[in-house]
Amino acid sequence: MATLKINSIAKTFGKKCALNDVTLSITGTFGLLGPNGAGKTTLMRLIATLDTPDSGEIKLNDLSWKQPHQVRNLLGYLPQHFSIYKSLNVYEVMNHFAVLKGISEKDERKREINYILEAVNLQDQKNIKIHALSGGMLRRLGIAQAILGDPKLVIVDEPTAGLDVQERVRFCKLLRRLAENRIIILSTHIVEDLEATCDHIAIINEGKVITSGTRRELTKHADGHIWEMDSPIDADPPIPEQAIISTVQQGDHYRIRFYHDTELPGAGQVEPNLEDAYLYYMKEADHV
């Protein structure tokens, strides 16, 4: 199986250090998780050959990113803010990208476009102008153009941003389905998206990789640190604000989920999920 190796990448913009010594090994469906400004987009742009790192290297098997032209033959890219010509319709846009990606035979192009539109559930919107698409449809069109030409490396930057819950769920399922035989890298700051799609996850913050591994490995790190307890509505919660992960109203009291390194009276230990793990990592990073 192909592995994308990212080795000690650094990238600065002026004085701002956007990526610092990033090393990752990417296979399958890979999620980049991190808060705003963490460096996700920067990293993805480097992988998409839109920019070059100040140091370090990127390689897919023997193919080095120093030969961007060859890399581009393998790429499918959905930028963070995807937008396309409003006056064209879905098919015209897809056809344009198909031609640009070198699918020169007309029937073949037609077949592939139809296949992909079917896959992203845009078949009915084929003749609809872009300006008439909903945000979710536009995102799906974005992914559709990205996977045109059957790229081996698909990079999608915050594909679920701006989508409602239902759309998000559908979109994640779609990504899952597309993940066969290729590497998909997606970035998000919404943890739930990754639960449904990604085998491997890296958490980055302030340009640095905090951790990376399978979902299981990440949640394991928070084992024994996640607790829940009930607290009356009118009283102040007994837990410091920064440690609270979530507060849910249940009847006449709140159910509070929080981290704590040691046992607290009245609190019960719970199994950590990915979000708990993520927040726990971020909290640790803050302390450093």
Ligand X SMILES: Nc1ncnc2c1ncn2[C@@H]1O[C@H](COP(=O)(O)OP(=O)(O)OP(=O)(O)O)[C@@H](O)[C@H]1O
Query: Could you say whether residue 41 binds Mg ion (CB under 5 A)?
Result: yes
The end-to-end CA distance of the chain, in Å, is: 36
- Of 13-21, 67-75, 95-103, 137-145, the segment contacting ligand X by CB under 6 A is 13-21
Q: Which is nearer to ligand X, 7 or 205 (CB)?
A: 205
Residues facing 232 on adjacent strands: 253
Among Mg ion, another protein, ligand X, none, the one that 36 touches (CB under a kind-dependent 5 to 8 A) is ligand X
Structure tokens given for 219 = 């949640």
Smallest gap from residue 47 Cβ to another protein (A): 10
Smallest gap from residue 26 Cβ to another protein (A): 17
Q: Is the dihedral of CA 82, 88, 91, 96 positive or negative?
A: negative
Smallest gap from residue 206 Cβ to ligand X (A): 8
Query: Could you say whether residue 102 binds another protein (CB under 8 A)?
Result: yes
> Interface residues for another protein in 27-86 (CB under 8 A)?
45, 48-50, 69-70, 72-73, 75, 77, 79, 81-85
Q: Which of 9, 30, 33, 40 contacts ligand X by CB under 6 A?
A: 40
> Interface residues for ligand X in 51-110 (CB under 6 A)?
80
Among another protein, Mg ion, ligand X, none, the one that 50 touches (CB under a kind-dependent 5 to 8 A) is another protein
Token pair 């879905």 in the structure block, residue: 90
Spell out the residues 6+ positions from residue 195 whose beta carbon is closer than 8 angstroms to its own.
Answer: 215, 273, 274
Contact track, Mg ion, 45-84, x by CB under 5 A: -----------------------------------x----
Contact track, another protein, 181-220, x by CB under 8 A: ----------------------------------------
Give Rg (Cα) of the chain: 21
Among another protein, Mg ion, ligand X, none, the one that 83 touches (CB under a kind-dependent 5 to 8 A) is another protein
> Interface residues for another protein in 119-148 (CB under 8 A)?
145
Contact track, ligand X, 189-218, x by CB under 6 A: x-----------------------------
Query: Could you say whether residue 34 binds ligand X (CB under 6 A)?
Result: yes
Residues that bind another protein (CB under 8 A): 45, 48-50, 69-70, 72-73, 75, 77, 79, 81-85, 87-88, 92, 95-97, 99-102, 104, 145
